[in-house]
Structure 1
Amino acid sequence: MELVKATKDLVIAGQPYPGFPILLWDSMESCAPANQFFRHYLLRGAIGSKRSWPSIGRALYDFFSFLQAHELDWRDVDRGEAKSLVAAYRDYCLMTCELARNTTRQRLTYICKFYEYALKEGWVKRLPFAFEERTVWRETALLAHIDASGGKTMANDVMPRKHKPLPKFLSMAEIKSLLAAAENPHHRMMMGLALHTGLRREEIAAFPLAYVFDPDNARRTERNVRIRLDPLDGSGMMTKGSKPREIYVSRKFMAELNRYATKVRGERASLSKIPQKALFLNQSGEPYGDDGKSLNRIISQTGKVAGIKVHTHMLRHTYATHTLVSLQRNPASGLEPLVFVQRQLGHSSIQTTMVYLHLVNEMADEAVLAYDDELNALAGAA
């Protein structure tokens, strides 16, 4: 029998769960243990976003496929060999498939959770992995001197050690080349929004037309305008975890957005039979679906024309890095740079934003002043 991956729409206690991942044998016999684990792990809220569910299904599917291809039984945790089943799969991912360490870690996380559940259910006698003490790096903070851990933590011994490279970002020269290569005005404006705000891919795809206005008609005259991103305001906006937040954009860039909305967007809007809420529409006059995944293709292809390797999230890194540099070198603004960038990006924890601080420290004099002004100058010259 061959293992196949599928999805099924479930309704449990009146709650719909579309696209629930399931594993089947080709005889349509259910892989009961794995599917029972899915229901336990996913439906109890361990994973906040349902968009992450397919990746869990793929991880388990790939693991069971590996075992089947090598005629191994997942329950054989006492196989009498130096390398456990999970460790063998780890090495297969890293060496044979040449997967990234973080990708392998993610897969192993779900597989280890499955075995922890299997132990609790009595399906296996012990876990096919152990825990070891590892040294971890921690940010220096208040009361760090009373931390009794000594920088040590207990870690799963089958997990590859974390290797988290600093995020890559574009220089101003590369930004100019990228925008110059974007001959399509719709694509150019999407990139501009990412570079001016640091919005995520799905946030750019869902960014509402209703959020765009003519700043010259507004009563306030500040250099920046505030936009509230609220998934519950009926505009169609989407944010990570559906959490509302406020962002700031320059008046000049808002004027660019307004010009695009009133003079360029109509070309595509006319192709749709119904008015669309999203600012950016595809060639059919519809919003970019699937959380805007096609934006990666658009941006990477534009990057190839410009001779730059780039993806959507790199534009977010670019915004964060240059904005942090600009704020640090302009203390008269009265803003706490890291807190501002955290709020602008929508990070729940400032520790997530700290990575850009480390990046800035390594950049030294390579950073560029007046990032937003230079972007606006590019827009004005277009």
Structure 2
Amino acid sequence: MEIVWGTKDLLIAGQPYQGFPILLWDSMESCSQANQFFRYYLLRGEIGSKQSWPSTGRALYDYFSFLQAHELDWRNVDRGEAKSLVAAYRDYCLVTCELGRNTTRQRLTYICKFYEFALQKGWVTRLPFGHEERTVKRETSFLEHIDSSGGKALVNDVMPRCYKSLPKFLSMAQTKSLLKAADNPHHRIMIQLALRTGLRRNELATFPLAYVFDPDKAGRNERNLRVLLDPYDGSGMETKGSKERQIWVSRKFMSELYRYVSKVRGERASLGKNQKALLLNHLGKPYGSAGKSLNRIISKIGKLAGIEVHTHMLRHTYATHTLVNLQRDPQNGLDPLVFLQRQLGHGSIQTTIVYLHLINEMADKAVFAYDDELNQMAEAA
């Protein structure tokens, strides 16, 4: 019996859901328990972004495939072994597959949620894992002084302990090498857009042509220009959680984007119909909204430059260098962390603080004058 994972466009309660995760047995019979869980877990809003839905399907697919390969039944929670099914899968991920702790934790989160749902439905007699008290890091709040938990919480005992690593970013020397290796002007502007704005992968892929304008004709003399990322303005813009936000783009880079649209983009735009996205592939079509092909291009250029890089690392690079510059030269009493949080679209300031921890450990002074050096590179190109 073979397990197949995929996605399917569904109509549930009159609402269309594209790319909904689905598990199949023998490519014919639906795995009803897993798919009932998908409908319950995803449609109740546990995961806000539909872009993250496939990872839930892949987690369960991999778990069921592991069980099948070892001739184990997912319902056998009282198997009498020292190691539970979920614990065995955890060790398989960490030891055999050498997956990262965060990747393993993400998979186990969905699997544990599935078993909790299965227990409620009576499909299993008990959970194949227990709970233990661990010290957890909580977000600070004004009620912190009356928190009696002592920083302790009950967590699933199968979860590997979390050792949060600091994000990786490019130095200025690496950034120069990456841009130098991007001899294709379409790829170069793609990298520049990521480095100048800190947009996520799907935001880069769907960044609209309509957001680019000639700053010299806008009647504004500001050094930096506001751009509203609005998923509901009909431009095709996608943001995490479909949340609207404003970002700042330097006037100089907006001019560069406008020159690209006026003199270079037409080479690809002429190959297809009118496309809303700024970035088009070699066929004149927009990149997929997940941004995977875009990521492959950036990784390939990185290899040419001798750098291991992915799209999200460019976001980290923007955030790290921008925070250093803002702390070095604060403007108009602007809070660097709050500005960066809004620019990146973080729901919590705690997510942004990781960059503060990062720069506190840095000793490389080459991160200073980041935007000025990018401007010099753009002028020399």
* TM-score between both structures, scaled by the size of structure 1: 0.95
Query: Given residue 151 of structure 2, which amino acid in structure 1 is its aligned partner?
Result: G
Cα drift, residue 83 of structure 1: 0.7
Give the match for residue 308 of structure 2: 309
Corresponding letter in the other structure for 1:189: I
Paired residue secondary structure (1:363): coil
Aligned to 2:53: 53
C-alpha distance in structure 2 between counterparts of 1:366 and 1:128, whole Å: 51
Q: Distance in 2 between matches of 1:278 and 1:23?
A: 33
Distance 1:367-1:352 versus aligned 2 partners, 3 A rule? farther
Aligned residue runs from structure 1 range 1-382, under 5 A: 1-26=1-26, 28-138=28-138, 142-272=142-272, 274-364=273-363, 366=365, 368-382=367-381
Distance 2:238 2:10 in 1: 24
Q: For residues 274-293 of structure 1, what are the alpha-carbon distances to aligned partners after superposition, in whole Å with 9 as ceiling and x for unaligned? A: 22111111111111124221
In 1, the alpha carbon distance for the partners of 2:328 and 2:369 equals 9
Aligned counterparts of 1:97 and 1:332: Cα–Cα separation in 2: 48
Kindly state the Cα deviation for residue 221 of structure 1 after the two structures are TM-superposed: 1.1
Residue 380 of structure 1, CA deviation: 0.9
Which amino acid is 1:251 matched to? R
Contact 1:360 1:367 in 2 (8 A): no
Give the Å deviation of 1:232: 1.3
Contact 2:75 2:123 in 1 (8 A): yes
The 1:215–1:379 alpha-carbon spacing in structure 2 relative to 1, beyond 3 Å, is same
Asked whether the 8 Å contact 1:85–1:128 carries over to 2, the reply is: yes
* Separation (CA, whole Å) in 2 of partners of 1:337 and 1:358: 14
The 1:97/1:215 distance shift into structure 2, 3 A limit, reads same
The one-letter code matched in structure 1 to 2:202 is: E
Shift of 1:140: 5.8
**CA deviation string 1:18-43 (max 9, x = no partner):** 33322222172332222222222122
In terms of mean alpha carbon deviation, does 13-22 or 305-314 score higher?
A: 13-22
Q: Deviations over 1:316-366 (max 9, x none)?
A: 000000000000011244210000000000111111111101101111453
Give the AA of the match of 2:73. Answer: D
Deviation at 1:10, TM superposition (A): 2.4
Farther-moved stretch of structure 1 (3-12 vs 101-110): 3-12
Between the aligned residues of both structures, percent identity stands at 78
**Residues 291 and 35 (structure 1), Cα distance of their counterparts in 2 relative to 1, 3 Å cut:** closer
Moved more, 20-29 or 49-58: 20-29
The one-letter amino acid of 1:343's match is R
User: Is the alpha carbon distance of 1:220 and 1:56 closer, same or farther for their aligned partners in structure 2, counting shifts above 3 Å?
Assistant: same
Check whether the contact 2:3–2:27 (CA below 8 A) recurs between aligned residues: no
C-alpha contact 1:300 1:310 (8 A) present in aligned 2: yes
Range that drifts further, 254-263 or 65-74? 65-74
Task: Name whichever of 4-13 and 126-135 sits farther off.
Answer: 4-13
**In structure 1, distance between residues paired with 2:311 and 2:190:** 10
Q: 1:229, 1:239 within 8 Å by CA — same for their partners in 2?
A: yes
Tell me by how many angstroms 1:141 deviates: 5.7
Give 2:298's aligned amino acid. I
Measure, in 2, the Cα distance between the counterparts of 1:220 and 1:27. 59
- Shift in Å at residue 370 of structure 1? 2.0
Q: Which moved more, 1:134-143 or 1:84-93?
A: 134-143
| RMSD across aligned positions (CA) | 1.6
Letter in 2 for 1:286: K
Distance 2:171 2:364 in 1: 12
- How far the C-alpha of 1:251 sits from its partner, in A, is 0.9
Q: Secondary structure at the match of 1:10?
A: strand
Find the aligned partners of 1:27 and 1:252 in 2 and give their Cα distance: 54
Deviations 1:182-235 (A, max 9, x none): 100111111111111101111111111111111122222111111111111122
1:95, distance to aligned residue in structure 2 (A)? 0.8
**Distance (Å, rounded) in 2 between the aligned partners of 1:212 and 1:55:** 33
TM-score (norm 2): 0.96
Q: Secondary structure at the match of 2:176?
A: helix
Structure 2 residue ranges without an equivalent (≥5): none
Cα distance in 1 between the residues matched to 2:95 and 2:15: 42
Deviates further, 31-40 or 181-190: 31-40
Contact residue 23 and residue 30 of structure 1 kept, 8 A? yes
Alpha-carbon spacing, 1:22–1:90, altered in 2? closer, same or farther (3 Å):
same
Residues 322 and 367 in structure 1, CA contact (< 8 A), matched pair in contact too:
no
Output the CA distance in 2 between the equivalents of 1:27 and 1:347.
39
Shift of 1:76: 1.5
